[in-house]
Structure 1
Amino acid sequence: MKKEASFSTKGNRADLGPLTINRLLPNQYANKVGPFVFLDYVAPAIKDTITENGMGAHPHRGIATLTYILQGEEEHFDSAGNYAKIHSGGVQWMKAGTGIVHDGNLNYDSETDSKMVHGFQFWINLPAKNKTESPAHIAIQANEVPKKALAYESGWIKVIVGNYEKLSSIIPNYSQQFLYHIHLEAGKQFTIQMADKIEVAAFLPTNSVILNDTEFEAGEFVEFSRNAGEIEIKNTSEKAIDILFFGGEEYAEPIVAEGPFVMNSSGEIADAYRDFYAGKYGEIKSTKKN
């Protein structure tokens, strides 16, 4: 049985220098999809200049941030002393836990000739028991992301978060969650199964695609019903397309979000601000690896 689309939207646009950012989640229809409570999409853009000293240090508590770079180079540094640089196809994951300050640079990939930048940032809401844990960080380069070829030379699937068949991401699962990147060749199709009560959304970065017999445009965020079923992806165009699927089990605990903090009560939000202004999240000592 095919899952029905609940809604689709294109989000809100903001410009940051040469970059165009589309805020896709939260949106007018939904505040979350499984544990995912935030999604910013950095549309493909040419960036000629190099940012070296960070784009703006800021705190987080109660979530894990996840940056997935399709093209470009992302540099991460934080108040826990973590530093990493990923290149096109890589992933940065940071558990804010009890509180952290982080910053980073988004530039073109120094390992290629392309000046293009293109990627995503997600926030993954942590269960209450994990919001009190210490911060942590994981950097994954493109060749370390689990990947599998699809049947009939149809394309491939990458597992950024969660599991798919025998593929498993090294990013921790605090609840049932997934983030898949599917690449589908011209004229091909692929069907993915979703279990009952699983929240799932799709995002189409740059090309239109047919999902369960309905055509959606490039730039659309599509959420589906929670009933068990399949999502059939058809690429009827003459070039390959990419699509992201993400979601998981419903986050059942209360959610209170304000600024960079996502907690379970207003009191916890107040605590998050108080601890930040008291300096308990620490400070970034250096923006470069020693």
Structure 2
Amino acid sequence: MNQTEHQHIEPRLHDLGDGFVVRRMLPSAQRRSVGPFVFLDHVGPVDLAPGKGVDVRPHPHIGLSTMTYLFDGVFTHRDSMGVVQDIRPGAVNWMTAGRGVAHSERTPALERSAGHRLHGVQFWVGLPGGDAEVDPSFSHHSRDQLPEWIEDNDKVRIRLVAGEALDRRSPVPVYSRLFCLDVSLRDGGSLRVPDEFPERAVLVVEGSIELDGSAYEVHDMLVLGSDSPVVVKATGTARVIVLGGDPLDGPRHVWWNFVAASRERIDQAAADWKAGRFDAVPGETEFIPLPDK
């Protein structure tokens, strides 16, 4: 890719079970990662009827941090460290797997009974080599703990979800130089994308935008040319996730829910999950079995 060109990512539809489908932006055939972000799902928007919910049964991770960030809806997170934490719009659940952790995410009983709208994004951030085997950890950050401000004559509202950008810093504990912004724009509002990072991307999650004279809609994702200043402009009301950072310190293998610098480490994690050597998630009796490679 020429450094001044932007790369359009074609998402893959991925069924999480019971007909609940997400759009997988990373990894893709066109692009394996953006900075340290090695995985990105756009979840919804979808309206779940009363009695319906999402049940992501316990499954393992190694070598990464996961982040769930919602625009609508709620998930209950449970993990093998004993953490039970609801995640609601504007807040962050940040779990670092390190040497290994298991977790589940499910729709709580109240929302399942009443029916609700679900919309959000989920990320995996690969860990630097020196941190790949750290002890697992979890942190929750409510919406009011994250930096949020207004720009462009009240036409742009920005929340710094993780990392550092635009002279602000999120309290979310990260292991590498990165940023993630949640940006809501009114008609005609514009944002200059931070350009101090070598890899950056824009995902449209609501409405439509204009970027370098071209129009983009919901579910469009662009990996930006690394040496080009970029301005995102709303055409109507819009919302975008803007993210990026420094590339990881070497290639990563991604298989199922595992991220590692070597295939041997992934093979070991797979064998450990199959043999039941990961710690269990308290209160859960189900689990997702190891898939065939």
Report how far residue 244 of structure 1 moved.
0.7
Contact conserved, 1:208 with 1:215, CA < 8 A, in 2? yes
Specify the alignment match of 1:124 in structure 2: 125
Matches of 2:54 and 2:208 in 1, distance apart? 37
For residues 232-275 of structure 1, what are the alpha-carbon distances to aligned partners after superposition, in whole Å with 9 as ceiling and x for unaligned?
Answer: 111232xx210111110111323112111110111111222233
Q: Structure 1 stretches of 5 or more lacking a match?
A: none
Q: Secondary structure at the match of 1:274?
A: helix
Q: TM-score, normalised by structure 2?
A: 0.87
Letter in 1 for 2:230: I
1:274 is the counterpart of 2:271: yes
Q: Secondary structure at the match of 1:218?
A: coil
Matches of 1:256 and 1:171 in 2, distance apart? 25
1:151 is the counterpart of 2:185: no
Q: Secondary structure at the match of 1:162?
A: strand
Contact conserved, 1:47 with 1:108, CA < 8 A, in 2? no
Give me the CA root mean square deviation. 2.3
Matches of 2:218 and 2:144 in 1, distance apart? 27
Distance 1:54-1:22 versus aligned 2 partners, 3 A rule = closer
1:258 is the counterpart of 2:255: yes
Contact conserved, 1:36 with 1:247, CA < 8 A, in 2? yes
Matches of 1:89 and 1:246 in 2, distance apart? 16
Q: Structure 2 stretches of 5 or more lacking a match?
A: 285-293
Distance 1:53-1:46 versus aligned 2 partners, 3 A rule = closer
1:247 is the counterpart of 2:244: yes
Q: Which moved more, 1:46-55 or 1:14-23?
A: 46-55
Contact conserved, 1:71 with 1:108, CA < 8 A, in 2? no
Distance 1:257-1:122 versus aligned 2 partners, 3 A rule = same
Q: Which moved more, 1:161-170 or 1:262-271?
A: 161-170
* Mapping for residues 137-216 of structure 1, pairs under 5 Å: 137-195=138-196, 198-216=198-216
For residues 67-119 of structure 1, what are the alpha-carbon distances to aligned partners after superposition, in whole Å with 9 as ceiling and x for unaligned?
Answer: 10110011100111111012222221110111011101146985xx9821101
Number of aligned positions between the proteins: 279
1:236 is the counterpart of 2:235: yes
Q: TM-score, normalised by structure 1?
A: 0.88
Report how far residue 170 of structure 1 moved.
1.6
Letter in 2 for 1:283: A
Report how far residue 161 of structure 1 moved.
1.0
Matches of 2:217 and 2:47 in 1, distance apart? 23
Report how far residue 137 of structure 1 moved.
0.6
Letter in 2 for 1:30: R
Matches of 1:156 and 1:216 in 2, distance apart? 19
Question: Identity across aligned pairs (percent)?
Answer: 25
Q: Which moved more, 1:275-284 or 1:130-139?
A: 275-284
Matches of 2:36 and 2:257 in 1, distance apart? 16
Report how far residue 53 of structure 1 moved.
9.5
Specify the alignment match of 1:101 in structure 2: 102
